Amino acid sequence: MIQPLAYIHPEAKIAQNVVIEPFAIIHKDVEIAEGSWIGSHAVINEGARIGRNCKIYPGAVISATPQDLKFNNEYTRTYIGDNTTIREYATISRGTEEHWKTEIGTDCLIMAYAHVAHDCRIGNHCLIINNVQMGGHVHMGDWAIIGGSSSVHQWAKIGAHAMISGGSLVRKDVPPFTKAAREPLSYTGINSIGLRRRGFENDKINQIQEIYRYIYMRGLNNADALTQIELELPPSDERDEIVNFIRSSERGIMKGPSTNNVERE
């Protein structure tokens, strides 16, 4: 199932039922698991670990050398989870000594011309739309979505189930379960439609919404808002996830929806 016009390094480890189309290039120290498909002119570089039933479309470049001036040719890897699709001309860099690997989860879709830089950690079921440009060390939680032509600052964190509007500049962290839009990037509500599609009941969605009222609607700074949330709202996995995300944020979270877009520390 490997076309004769493809180049496969003899040290690459390819499962027997992988399809590799003509003119694809597979370098040494590459592993591709069962059921995956590699399109024409895709390039899989050293250190790539491709999971089961992945699809790598023509022109995509996986595990490229990091675009980091500090990179000193250290041995690093790129992991692509099972059932993930990477569309045309998307590029994914391998890690640096900061984290030693770039990780893409399972069941993700990375669309055409997107770039995932070194040491990024992308969760499961994530959707990265066409031409998203992602700096190094970005963390993206499960089920998160980044709209097309958005740019994500290095070290930024995007919480699980968050949805970022197309054309956004993501300079701050985006908390879980939220929608983000406008310039500068601001809270525009919770991702209720996405949550319902994933089986969240209305009571749970209302609880999440109430948590964000404390954070964005009551004029409190983040520390006071989190304290009141823990004192006044019932414990839940979602509450703890939001609180822990904001407390651990190093870049600070995105602005609230106020007219003046006053940033809260």
Sequence-ordered list of residues with C-beta below 8 angstroms from that of 235, at least 6 positions apart, any chain: none
Sequence-ordered list of residues with C-beta below 8 angstroms from that of 261, at least 6 positions apart, any chain: 184, 186, 255
pTM beyond 0.85: yes
Q: Which helix (H) or strand (E) segment is 135 a member of?
A: none
- The predicted-structure confidence for 238-261, as pLDDT tens digits, reads as follows 999 999 999 999 999 999 986 444
- The predicted-structure confidence for 169-184, as pLDDT tens digits, reads as follows 999 999 999 999 999 9
Q: At residue 166, does pLDDT exceed 80? A: yes
For residue 1, what pLDDT is reported?
Answer: 76
For residue 2, what pLDDT is reported?
Answer: 78
- The predicted-structure confidence for 67-81, as pLDDT tens digits, reads as follows 999 999 999 999 999
Residue keyed to tokens 């983000």: 180
d(CA 48, CA 64): 9
What are phi and psi for residue 180, nearest 5 degrees?
-130, 135
Active site residues: 118-119, 136
Residue 59 and residue 89 in contact, taking contact as beta carbons nearer than 8 Å: yes
Q: How many CA atoms lie within 13 A of 77 on its CB side?
A: 11
Using alpha carbons only, what angle is made at residue 16 by residues 11 and 21, rounded to the nearest 5 degrees? 80
